[in-house]
């Protein structure tokens, strides 16, 4: 990909003129290193690309490094902040809420922090949702629980009414935790704020269990999802191995990308076939999935298939499509489709099979985060606070080249990251499964 043309400048409400309260720690062990806006993280670190740019005397594209600034824009004693979680549930939501509140309260001395209930609905008066006052005691133990302390909802709401609410509450910093739809809404909220001439910082924290947010190398909840998906693969394998001609069919999350399916497969290499949205496959024919599963049963008497929810949607092209409240196309159930197709195929051949179908999606989404995600959420939440206090806006906190960075929200909103069929991850799948292309010659 050509990164040099990417616009990475971050919007700001103004220059920071207030000395950061974390500048003079009470103990030397708490010394804080501050980050300059000139500290950057290169987007493309491949040597060939860098060498080519140096020869052309071009400046490599880079992201602004996240972290605390020595001067801040907002006066903590007067600032009011709001937090909202939107879209589907995801492991780590409570960890994000906890780290944001604790950093605001203990790091900067902000005492007015409010939680907006049930996603964007919480801003709209007609729904009548209460606002929660968030204090350290409110969030201390919530990382032990799944879901979100604030609840969530799907679907768009009137942007004007949302900004009206922010004005009424005198909010100076809004933290929006959500996926692609939330980021799109956040950019519209920023536009409305600018149009009204308001000074409100909007900071996004990208949330998707699928790990498919564009220009973000890792999103919280993904590590936890892979953990549980790995256990589900183990269960599918045990079920398949326990019966003659046993087949374990496991459907995992992944509307637009197959990162969970692919990564969990490599973590628990008991899978024989992996189907993801980025790679087409045939069902029928000598090299199609059904015949390949039959060959696997002839050879080893059992098989395990992992399918991402967005795979194989071409088999539903003649069926009516609907959209959910967020405007996303409602995917047809590829898991149940494959279950029926496999059963029918072997029944027609008079071959007895023992097919076990597993769909752990909602179990995975609602569980607490694992240890790695707890650590990750801590850094994300606190860096979101540092960005807001410095007056950054229209920005999300992302992870790139092993660093936390400021990414302009419009760079990621409305786009998806995908598994590269020519990349190392998918090549690893082909090596681990030996499944081949699952395509008939054209």
**Host H or E run for residue 362:** helix 361-366
Kindly state the percentage of the chain with pLDDT values over 90: 87
Q: State pLDDT tens for residues 31-64.
A: 568 999 999 999 988 877 767 777 777 788 999 9
Mean pLDDT of 145-170: 96
| pLDDT score for 28 | 53
Query: Is residue 367 a contact partner of residue 374, using CB atoms and an 8 Å limit?
Result: no
- How high is the pLDDT of residue 2? 59
Looking at the predicted structure, is the pLDDT value of residue 336 above 60?
yes
Q: Which among 402, 442, 371 is positioned nearest to 43, based on CA atoms?
A: 402
Query: Catalytic: which of 48, 180, 191, 210?
Result: 210
Q: Indicate the CATH number for domain 223-366+421-433.
A: 3.40.50.460
In the predicted model, is pLDDT for residue 30 greater than 90?
Answer: no
Tokens of 118: 């049930």
Q: What per-residue confidence (pLDDT) applies to 26?
A: 52
Q: Give the Cα separation of 204 and 186 in Å (integer).
A: 7
User: Residue 257: CB partners within 8 Å, gap ≥ 6?
Assistant: 210, 211, 212, 276, 277, 278, 308, 310, 416, 417, 418, 419
Q: What is the CATH number of domain 11-219+368-412?
A: 3.40.50.450
pLDDT surpasses 90 at 312: yes
Q: Please state the domain extents for the chain.
A: 11-219+368-412, 223-366+421-433
The span from the CA of 89 to the CA of 154, in Å, is: 10
The whole-chain average pLDDT of the chain stands at 93
Helix, strand, or coil (residue 81): strand
* Active-site residue flag, 210: yes
Q: What is the pTM of this model?
A: 0.93
| Residue 86 pLDDT grade (very low, low, confident, very high; cuts 50, 70, 90) | very high
pLDDT classification of 321: cutoffs 50, 70, 90 = low
Q: Do domains 11-219+368-412 and 223-366+421-433 have the same CATH topology?
A: yes
């Amino acid at each position: 990909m050509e990164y040099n043309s990417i616009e990475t400048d971050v919007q700001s409400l103004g220059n920071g003129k207030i000395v950061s309260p974390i500048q003079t720690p009470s103990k030397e062990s708490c010394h804080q290193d501050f980050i300059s806006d000139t500290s950057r993280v290169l987007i493309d670190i491949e040597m060939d690309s860098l060498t080519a740019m140096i020869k052309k005397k071009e400046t490599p594209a880079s992201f602004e490094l996240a972290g605390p600034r020595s001067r801040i824009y907002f006066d903590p004693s007067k600032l009011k902040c709001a937090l909202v979680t939107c879209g589907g549930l995801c492991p780590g939501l409570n960890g994000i809420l906890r780290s944001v509140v604790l950093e605001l309260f203990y790091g900067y001395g902000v005492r007015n922090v409010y939680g907006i209930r049930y996603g964007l609905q919480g801003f709209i008066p007609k729904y009548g949702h209460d606002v929660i006052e968030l204090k350290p005691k409110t969030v201390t133990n919530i990382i032990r629980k799944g879901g979100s302390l604030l609840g969530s909802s799907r679907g768009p709401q009137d942007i004007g009414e949302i900004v009206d609410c922010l004005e009424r509450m005198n909010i100076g910093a809004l933290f929006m935790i959500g996926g692609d739809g939330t980021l799109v809404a956040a950019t519209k909220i920023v536009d409305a704020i600018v149009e009204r001439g308001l000074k409100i910082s909007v900071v996004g924290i990208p949330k998707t269990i699928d790990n498919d947010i564009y220009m973000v190398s890792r999103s919280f909840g993904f590590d936890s999802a892979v953990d549980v998906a790995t256990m589900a693969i183990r269960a599918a394998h045990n079920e398949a191995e326990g019966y003659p001609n046993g087949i374990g069919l496991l459907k995992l999350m992944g509307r637009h990308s197959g990162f969970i399916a692919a990564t969990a497969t490599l973590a628990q290499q008991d899978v024989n076939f992996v189907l993801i949205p980025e790679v087409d496959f045939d069902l029928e024919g000598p090299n199609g999935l059904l015949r390949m599963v039959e060959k696997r049963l002839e050879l080893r008497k059992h098989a395990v298939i992992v399918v991402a929810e967005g795979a194989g949607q071409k088999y539903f092209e003649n069926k009516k499509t609907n959209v959910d409240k967020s405007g996303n196309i409602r995917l047809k159930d590829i898991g149940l489709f494959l279950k029926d197709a496999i059963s029918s195929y072997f029944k027609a051949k008079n071959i007895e099979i023992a097919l076990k179908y597993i769909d752990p999606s909602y179990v995975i989404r609602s569980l607490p985060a694992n240890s790695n995600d707890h650590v990750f959420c801590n850094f994300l939440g606190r860096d979101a606070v540092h960005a807001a206090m410095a007056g950054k806006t229209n920005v999300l906190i992302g992870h790139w080249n092993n660093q936390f960075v400021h990414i302009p929200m419009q760079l990621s909103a409305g786009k998806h990251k995908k598994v590269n069929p020519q990349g190392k991850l998918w090549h690893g799948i082909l090596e681990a499964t030996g499944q081949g292309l699952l395509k008939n010659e054209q």
